[in-house]
Amino acid sequence: MDDILLARIDGNVGLATLNRPEVLNALSLELMKRLVDALEAFDADPNVYVIVLAGSEKVFAAGADIGDMADASLVEMYERNQFARWMRIKQIRKPMIAAVSGFALGGGCELAMHCDLIVASETARFGQPEINIGVMPGAGGTQRLTRAIGKFRAMEMVLNGRFLSAQEAFQAGLVTRVVAREQFLAEALRLAHEIARRPPIALKLAKEAVLKADELPLSEGLEYERKLFYTLFATRDQKEGMKAFLEKRPPRFEGR
């Protein structure tokens, strides 16, 4: 249990848990390496359809490990190229659910925002307090937060280090749902298992299409979506899904 990253598979759901309680799950270089390796292993595993990324009930993650950066020079930070690892999280094709309880700060908030759904406990606190330690968000916070909650609320968080409570984050559109503290992981896993009953290839393409909405103008996004929609007619799961509906029986998807 003292491993910094715990990974297990339950049915068709992969669960990765951050486990550095003594530093509030600060995202050290080693923890990020282990996490990205685990996420990529889940992404490559044909038995995993959905991924859950969790912290503990007390804390999701209090940001990048400040000890890793405090004395670093620009050249060291540049050569370290740690954001390459974060880019690999962006490449994960399967749906990812963040299970957030307690603080999700700095890189912790950015990590949650790399996921596709966020289940928050009522104790969750989201923030980008980097300004208080002389820097600013670096793993997508200024961009993803602004897209999720809009410029004016994002500015207050980024410029003034304001935290959002779970309810505020829900109302602002940053969180999928808020549940009781002791339920946060069970609810994230329940949602993951529910989504995992869907056809896996359609899940991946649907995720890809939704994420394109942040990148493309509407007309190109619609065209992109249409192409992926047509692509699904090459899958056995499309035939099975529609046939099962017409035969009034549950579908048996195989990811083909």
| Smallest separation (angstroms) from ligand CO8 to the CB of 67 | 5
With CB under 6 A as the contact rule, the residue among 96, 99, 123, 130 that binds ligand CO8 is 130
With CB under 6 A as the contact rule, the residue among 31, 105, 166, 188 that binds ligand CO8 is 105
With CB under 6 A as the contact rule, the residue among 50, 51, 62, 145 that binds ligand CO8 is 62
Specify whether 240 is catalytic.
Answer: no
Q: Give the integer Cα–Cα distance in Å for 9 and 27.
A: 22
Nearest to 165 by CA among 218, 101, 79, 71: 101
CB proximity list for 84: less than 8 A, separation 6 or greater: none
CB proximity list for 154: less than 8 A, separation 6 or greater: 142, 145, 146, 148
State which of positions 85-104 bind ligand CO8 (CB under 6 A): 103
Per the listing, tokens 């190109």 go with: 220
Specify whether 106 is catalytic.
Answer: no
164 contacts ligand CO8 (rule: CB under 6 A): no
Six token digits for residue 105? 């700060």
55 contacts ligand CO8 (rule: CB under 6 A): no
With CB under 6 A as the contact rule, the residue among 7, 9, 23, 244 that binds ligand CO8 is 23
Q: Which stretch binds ligand CO8 (CB under 6 A): 116-124, 130-138, 149-157, 216-224?
A: 130-138
| Smallest separation (angstroms) from ligand CO8 to the CB of 97 | 21
**Burial bucket for residue 169 (CB in 10 Å: 0-12, 13-18, 19+):** buried
Residue numbers annotated as active site:
64, 107, 110, 130
